[in-house]
Structure 1
Amino acid sequence: MFEWMVLDSALVVPLLLFLAGAIAGFVDSIVGGGGLISVPAMLLTNLPPGVALGSNKLASVFGAFSAMINFIRQKKADIGLVKRLLPFTFVGSIAGTILVISIPPLYLKPIIIFLLIAVLLFVLFKKDWGEVSTYTKATGRRFVLLVLMALSIGFYDGFIGPGTGTFLIFGFIFAGFDFLLASGNAKVLNFASNLGSLLVFIAMDHVNYVYGLSAAVGQIIGATIGSRMAIRKGTGFVRLVFIVMTVSMLAKLMYDYFVG
């Protein structure tokens, strides 16, 4: 009886992480925000916080890669642009992850809440914003701004994480892309930031591979379904999910800050 209970427990946790990973991968592949689901699920395993974050990054790499491949195959990402921005996001995430292991980001939630409110209001009141792609070419000042965005959001993803995809999509829309293309571009950079962060966690031995890979299988399935749905349904669908997830992130962060 005791052996069965141990075996049952050993199977239940990976199964729950698989399910949480599938939901997180689905949401994250469209507009980001999957960390709101996957990180709390990983923390419920009672892993040390650093190991939980590292294990979650392992799963997120697989989810981001799956979604990225779908967007690229359907030509819903500007490869010429994102391959120039990718190294900056990668380096930024490594720096952010090294810092978060040393200095927990305890006092930054008010800033994140403020930024998410600003993004949400902008999208709600400019209803035609992101409907049609007006992007032409990133040169000069525009490219410098995109580099700064890629570097800073990569650092943010390594240091804190929640809302990375949302901020990337907003940045690409601001550059002239529609919601769907912005989501595809964001997935490429999000894959780079997840990978950079994961390498640091692996080097620090902060990854539980059983739990991380259990969630990764779910992430692959969820991300594949979510990205295909986004491509099929188009910009209007992505915009709607973007608004819903931004509101959800705001509610979660405000609850944690004011109540939790």
Structure 2
Amino acid sequence: MYNIVFLCAAGFIAAFVDAIAGGGGLISVPAFFMAGFPPHIALGTNKFAATTGSLTSSIKFITSKKVNKDILKYAVPVTFIGAVLGVKTVLLIDQSFLYPIVMILILLVGIYTLISKNIGLENNYQGITTKTLFFAMLLGFSLGFYDGFFGPGTGSFLIFGLIYIFKFDFVHANGNAKILNFTSNIASLLTFSLEGKINYQYGILVAVFMILGARLGAKAAINKGAKLIKPIFVTMSLAVAAKMLYSMF
């Protein structure tokens, strides 16, 4: 009984934070480990619950018209393909060499966002060009592959990449990033499901609380805007880097 209450509370908080700025896995994955789940079951069950939360926040951003369908119709398919290839690759290659590279990159993203006063605070989107669409598809494929292969910081990289490519503010970048992140989550979830690595008894209960957290988080992000998202985004980016550094040593 204690485990399920603990996991539901952790799931709610993780989904709330993730809907605002990404990085919810920093809360939910360790919670499953602390509850005594074996590693693969912990990751699979977390992915199941987190995907429902990701879907909920995605729907909220869509209904609030904070996503760009002209970009997503090209970026979503390549993101899914990238994630499938990433999952297949992870079965063949050791992930450990990625730790220092990703840790440095996400640390730089957090620091750059912190010191750049105006980044993501205003929506300066100017439309789509062939060049920006190419980079959006490259971003989707690359981070889809990365999420399937490894994962930490995917949401942060997507938000930062969309701000850099399209000059979005944090709200619009987050909305579009959520759709792409949900796409890569689905690919990973299907793999975990086929491998029988999901505890549905716990996963369904945690998913309910993640749906609630994601809905409230997305609502807060949309209503409060970039001024709420930016500090949480910086905090979660630095937290992911710190967590990876801790794991290395």
Could you tell me how far 1:81 is from its partner in structure 2? 1.3
Q: Which residue does the alignment assign to 1:163?
A: 153
**Which of 70, 86, 93 in structure 2 is aligned with 1:96?**
86
Aligned residue pairs total: 248
Kindly indicate whether residue 123 of structure 2 is the aligned counterpart of residue 129 of structure 1.
no
Could you tell me how far 1:102 is from its partner in structure 2? 4.1
**Which of 186, 208, 211 in structure 2 is aligned with 1:195?**
186
Distance 1:23 1:101, change over 3 A: farther
Please report the TM-score for the alignment, with normalisation by the length of structure 2: 0.94
- Structure 2 unmatched ranges of 5 or more: none
Cα RMSD, aligned residues only? 1.4
**Which of 247, 251, 257 in structure 1 is aligned with 2:242?**
251
Paired residue type of 2:220: M
**Which of 96, 110, 126 in structure 2 is aligned with 1:106?**
96
CA distance in 1: counterparts of 2:33 and 2:88, whole angstroms: 20
Q: Which residue does the alignment assign to 2:77?
A: 87
Please report the TM-score for the alignment, with normalisation by the length of structure 1: 0.91
Q: Which residue does the alignment assign to 2:168?
A: 177
CA distance in 2: counterparts of 1:155 and 1:215, whole angstroms: 26
For residues 177-231 of structure 1, give each alpha carbon's deviation from its aligned partner in whole angstroms, at most 9, with x where no partner exists. Answer: 1111001111111111111110111111121111222221121011111110011
The share of aligned pairs that are identical, in percent, is 43
Stretches of 4+ moved more than 6 A in 1? none
CA distance in 2: counterparts of 1:159 and 1:182, whole angstroms: 23
8 Å contact 1:50–1:101 — kept in the other structure? Answer: no
**Which of 5, 14, 18 in structure 2 is aligned with 1:28?**
18
**Which of 194, 202, 213 in structure 2 is aligned with 1:211?**
202
Could you tell me how far 1:62 is from its partner in structure 2? 0.4
8 Å contact 1:35–1:161 — kept in the other structure? Answer: no
Q: Which residue does the alignment assign to 1:67?
A: 57
Secondary structure at the aligned position of 1:147 is classed as helix
CA distance in 1: counterparts of 2:174 and 2:75, whole angstroms: 15
CA distance in 1: counterparts of 2:155 and 2:171, whole angstroms: 13
Could you tell me how far 1:104 is from its partner in structure 2? 4.4
8 Å contact 2:16–2:213 — kept in the other structure? Answer: yes
8 Å contact 1:132–1:177 — kept in the other structure? Answer: yes
Could you tell me how far 1:14 is from its partner in structure 2? 2.2
Q: Which residue does the alignment assign to 2:27?
A: 37
For residues 130-182 of structure 1, give each alpha carbon's deviation from its aligned partner in whole angstroms, at most 9, with x where no partner exists. Answer: 12122222332221111111011111111111111100000110021111100
**Which of 14, 21, 30 in structure 1 is aligned with 2:4?**
14
Secondary structure at the aligned position of 2:124 is classed as coil
**Which of 203, 219, 225 in structure 2 is aligned with 1:234?**
225
**Which of 221, 241, 247 in structure 1 is aligned with 2:212?**
221
Paired residue type of 2:80: F
Kindly indicate whether residue 108 of structure 2 is the aligned counterpart of residue 118 of structure 1.
yes
- Structure 1 unmatched ranges of 5 or more: 1-10
Paired residue type of 1:224: R
CA distance in 2: counterparts of 1:75 and 1:85, whole angstroms: 18
